[in-house]
A and B are shown apart, each in its own frame.
Chain A
Amino acid sequence: MERIPVLRMGSLLLITIQVDMHDKLALQLQDDVTERISEWGSTGVLIDISSLEIVDSFIGRMLANIAGMSRVLGAETVVVGMQPAVAITLVELGMSLTGVRTALSVEAGMELLYGNAFTGSEDEQRTEA
């Protein structure tokens, strides 16, 4: 079955959405993320949407759902890499993605999440890595 891979990177889950999403894939991804979080005890979820050419209300709802479910399980979600044209369109569509944190790049997203997972300093972060 077609599936969006959920990778483990230390305490984070890394998801890169590259395909044109449809219902089954989105639901499967929500299930997979929650299962992985409880299995691996992940504290952060990074979703890279830089290859997505549009984000409609369906995808927006999926992102919000993943963020909401992850939060209940103790993991923060950051959505990274939204294309500028997508961001402009989202605003006009009226979708504010409340409750979903965003960052420009995977690196920036990781910084956000590690800052979250380890309340310590940058040095501590490096020892972890």
Chain B
Amino acid sequence: MSSVQKREVLPVKTSNDVVIARQKVRQLAVELRFSLVDQTKLVTAASELARNALDHGKGGTMTVEVLVNGARSGLKMVFEDQGPGIANIEDALKDGFTTGAGMGLGLGGSKRLVNDFSIETEVGKGTRITAVRWR
């Protein structure tokens, strides 16, 4: 079992919050001494998921946790919103699938950028997306 060393909750209500969320993930990724490429992957995934929570989920929160599992450490990011939910997760994960004006890359792409990825969603209630990258 992994233990949580540090935990912070940030709002994702405005496009400036997305910028702040990215900066927080970068700071923690640097502290955890992730490689530059891994830092970039984490920050990019955070940017996509925070923007989704804002654009599709009407805003929500990002919770970041520093995980320690024996000799391993990792960064966990949880994006939660009380928006419309995702009707079909399989479709939403497909590259090119979008219900908005985007390119439909954010969700499937961020899944590829992390090690663990899960989506919990209920139509009309909201969405929680959890992404972890280990180092």
Contact = CB atoms under 8 A, between A and B. Distances in A.
Interface of A: 20, 22-24, 53-58, 60-61, 83-86, 88-89, 92-95
13 contacts: A22-B18, A53-B40, A54-B22, A57-B48, A84-B37, A85-B37, A85-B39, A92-B112, A93-B112, A93-B113, A94-B95, A94-B105, A94-B112
B63 interface: no
Given A57-B102, A92-B113, 13 more contacts: A53-B26, A53-B40, A54-B43, A56-B48, A57-B103, A57-B106, A85-B39, A85-B40, A89-B113, A93-B48, A93-B109, A94-B105, A94-B109
B103 A23 contact: no
B108 interface: yes
B2 interface: no
B13 interface: no
A61 B51 CA distance: 14
A88 B113 CA distance: 10
Given A22-B16, A92-B109, A93-B113, A61 B103 contact: yes
A61 B106 CA distance: 12
Nearest to B23: A20
Interface string B26-69: 10000000001101110110011001000000000000000000
Contact of A86 (B22, B40, B110, B113): B40
Contacts of A58: 47, 51
A93 B105 contact: yes
Contacts of B43: 53-54
Main secondary structure of the interface of B (DSSP, over half): helix
Interface residues of B, number: 27
Interface of B: 15-16, 18-19, 22-23, 26, 36-37, 39-41, 43-44, 47-48, 51, 95, 102-103, 105-106, 108-110, 112-113
Given A22-B16, A94-B108, A89 B37 contact: yes
A20 to B, nearest CB: 5
A95 B109 contact: yes
Contacts of B44: 54-56, 89, 93
Residue picked from B15, B16, B44, B105, most chain A C-beta under 10 Å? B44
Contacts of A57: 48, 102-103, 105-106, 109
Contacts of B103: 57, 60-61, 95
Question: Sorted from nearest, which 4 A-B pairs have the closest CB atoms?
Answer: A93-B109, A85-B40, A56-B47, A22-B15
